[in-house]
Amino acid sequence: MAEAAHPHPEAGPRRNPRTARRFTAAAVGVALAGGAVACGPEDGGAQGAGAPEKGGTLTVLNSKPQSDFDPARQYTSGGGKVPTLVFRTLTTRNRENGAAGAKAVPDLATDTGRPSKNATVWTYTLKDGLKFEDGSPITSADIKYGIERSFAAELSGGAPYLRDWLVGGEKYQGPYKDTSKDGLKSIETPDAKTLVFHLKKPEGEFPLLATQTQFAPVPRKKDTGTKYEEHPLSSGPYKVVKNTGDGERILLKRNPYWSEKTDKERHAYPDTIDVKSGLDSAVINQRLSTGAGADAAAVTTDTNLGPAELAQIAGDKDLQKRVGTGHFGYTNYLAFNPKVKPFDNPKVRQAISYAVNRQSVVNAAGGSSLAQPATTFLPNQKTFGYTGADPFPAGKTGNPAKARELLKEAGYKNGLSITLTHSTAKNFETSPDIATAVQEALKKAGITVKLAGLEDNDYQDKVHSLKDEPGLFIGGWGADWPSGGPFIAPIYDGRQIVKDAYNFNHAQLDDPAVNHEIDEINKLTDLGAAAERWGALDKKIGEQALSVPLFHPVYKRLYGKDVKNIVISDWDGVLDISQVAVK
């Protein structure tokens, strides 16, 4: 996923390592979370009294508008948010709680894809009986065209991987400029139900990529370009009947041509889904807490509870039962630029790794209910390849004595002074509070830290500029899908260092052995075996002290008292509205 200023999955999970998405609130969309997931109360599981029934209206109260409601421009990766109600894709995520939900399963396709021996060719067959909201059949050509239009400059903003993975993708400019009308030749449609994708190199995680909304079908004759977002043709259980204020208000009604026989993942219990966005987060939480009128059957997919709100809820058993806990693959960390002194000295980086007090950082992030201490760059979930490694074990509160010893070995027996760059935005991960906690911890090890707070836009530009990147800054990264691939490669693959645009390889690491191992793992279609290799690579890189993992955020979100069947998976840590019932 991507570096982000404040994790909000609905804001657009997680974007291209070559766009400004990674370190901004739209960067990943964001991602507020990180670990394993529970649902409803802390014990997890589907919640709500009584069996779910069809009918009623579900209200979604969000702070971020559901803007650019076009499958080419969305950045959802199989998650349980609003777009998944309208846009079906070749694969989607398994709609189950916790770790079981962090895997890809068939959606429009009959399986998760059939790879060639070297995973450079992937073949999909569509299910029988698939239809758009107007009753017309969904064909392989519609999916091919949906992907092709995502290459158009007019519809930018979605996931970038297809441009990098598909043969010829780097030069293709979309169907509006394709005078030949042949489209991308690397996507073949030999018949109405078959798609064959030809990739530049082995990509064992293609089934995970195929959950992205770019794989939603769009019929060429119904494409209205930039206006398509006003009424995209639904392939899912709901269709758009109203979209005003660029996604601030979206009203969804049932798609009569959607069949549960072809869609085992979405339940579509409510008759109507009313999405109201652009609301203040405090107002959202107050409305969900009170549950008056329509708000009794309301949820949020982007608004967390804060420490003060959690303290209030702690004294109300009824409200406690309506708090969903979610974890999304996300890590907050200190990023080193070894090109800047004194961070070119490994012992200095190791000293800082020992000096950090993760308990104080967790407290600054809102406490143990909202953050979990991190010692690995990869999030603490099995699907990423999490090993639990701790190359510089310093306990919960740091080891300043060990840090001083290393500084002495590095030639700084009297300590040293450094600068820590951070955003002044009051967001969850790069906030001044986090920076201050780091500053105070390092002071105990004889390291004087000057805080360099920048307005958020300036901060983003500086930390992602190869020329201007500071020696030490606060960063964060979220997963585009639950695997080590979109975590390790954008940050530590030397071939992804970008000189003239946003760069995310903060350490500017270009190690042939690391690059080779990334390529070798990408050949694996056994994602369990791949996860083990990602974990081992994470451990190896971690020993170089190129970053200091700080914490993995956690989502805490209220839902209405009449809401049933709460499902929250480790894929994105967000309540899955395709499972929710209100009757």
Q: DSSP states of 193-218 as a string? A: TEEEEEBSS--TTHHHHTTBGGGS--
Nearest-10 Cα torsion for 58, 575, 245, 296: 30
> Which residues have a Cβ under 8 Å from the Cβ of 204 and sit 6 or more positions away?
115, 119, 521, 522, 523, 524, 525, 526, 527, 530
Query: The tokens of 209 are what?
Result: 């990529």
Asked if 259 and 268 count as a contact pair (C-beta separation under 8 A), the reply is no
What are the structure tokens assigned to 534, written together? 């990602």
Q: How does 509-548 read in b/e, with b if 16+ C-beta sit within 10 Å?
A: beeeebbebbeebbbbbebeebbbbbbbbbbebbebbbbb
Question: Residue 462 burial by CB count (10 A; 0-12/13-18/19+): exposed, middle or buried?
Answer: middle
Reported as type and span, the H/E element at residue 534 is helix 527-542
**How distant, in Å, are the alpha carbons of 5, 176, 265, 332, 435 from that of 429?**
6, 40, 33, 6, 9
Query: What is the Cα gyration radius of the chain?
Result: 23
Q: Do 67-269 and 332-551 show the same overall fold?
A: no
- The 3-state secondary structure of 335-389, one letter per residue: EECCCCCCCCCHHHHHHHHHHCCHHHHHHHCCCCCCEEECCCCCCCCHHHCCCCC
Would you say 438 and 365 are in contact if contact means Cβ atoms under 8 Å apart? no
Alpha-carbon distances of 399 from 336, 367, 440, 443, rounded to whole Å: 19, 21, 13, 12
3-state secondary structure of 184: coil
DSSP class of 425: S
As to burial, measured by CB atoms within 10 angstroms (0-12 exposed, 13-18 middle, 19+ buried), residue 184 is buried
Domain ranges of the chain: 67-269, 332-551
Cα–Cα distance between 66 and 302 in angstroms, integer?
Answer: 11
Q: What share of the chain is helix, strand, coil (3-state, %, to 5)?
A: 25, 20, 55
- Distance between CA 78 and CA 37 in Å, rounded? 16
Residue 55, classed as helix, strand or coil, is coil
Using the 8-state DSSP alphabet, how is residue 127 labeled? P
Interatomic CA distance for residues 5 and 427, integer angstroms = 6
CA angle 568, 534, 166 (to 5 degrees): 85
**Where does 101-220 have alpha helices with state H?**
140-149, 161-165, 206-209
CA 210, CA 91: separation in Å to the nearest integer?
A: 6
Q: Residue-wise pLDDT tens for the chain (583 aa)? A: 443 333 333 333 333 333 333 333 223 333 333 333 333 444 344 455 578 999 999 999 999 998 999 999 997 766 679 999 999 999 999 999 999 999 999 999 999 999 999 999 999 999 999 999 999 999 999 999 999 999 999 998 888 899 999 999 999 999 999 888 789 999 999 999 999 999 999 999 999 999 999 999 999 999 999 999 999 999 999 999 999 998 999 999 999 999 999 999 999 999 999 999 999 999 999 999 999 999 999 999 999 999 989 999 999 999 999 999 999 999 999 999 999 999 999 999 999 999 999 999 999 999 999 999 999 999 999 999 999 999 999 999 999 999 999 999 999 999 999 999 999 987 655 579 999 999 999 999 999 999 999 999 999 999 999 999 999 999 999 989 999 999 999 999 999 999 988 899 999 999 999 999 999 999 999 999 999 999 999 999 999 999 999 999 999 999 999 999 999 999 999 999 999 999 8
Q: Which residues, in sequence order, are bridge partners of residue 298? A: 59
Architecture of the CATH domain 332-551: Roll (3.10)
The domain defined by 67-269 carries CATH number 2.40.50.100:
no
Give the count of alpha carbons within 13 A of 414, CB side only: 0
Whole-Å CA distances, 432 to 135, 325, 447 = 54, 26, 18
Q: Quick one: DSSP state of residue 143?
A: H
Q: Could you tell me the pTM of the whole model?
A: 0.90
CA terminus-to-terminus distance, the chain: 35
Report residue 427 as tokens: 């967001």
C-alpha dihedral sign at 269, 271, 275, 276: negative
Q: Which two tokens stand for residue 259?
A: 């069949």
- Which helix (H) or strand (E) segment holds residue 317: the answer is helix 317-320
Phi, psi of 56 (to 5 degrees): 85, 180
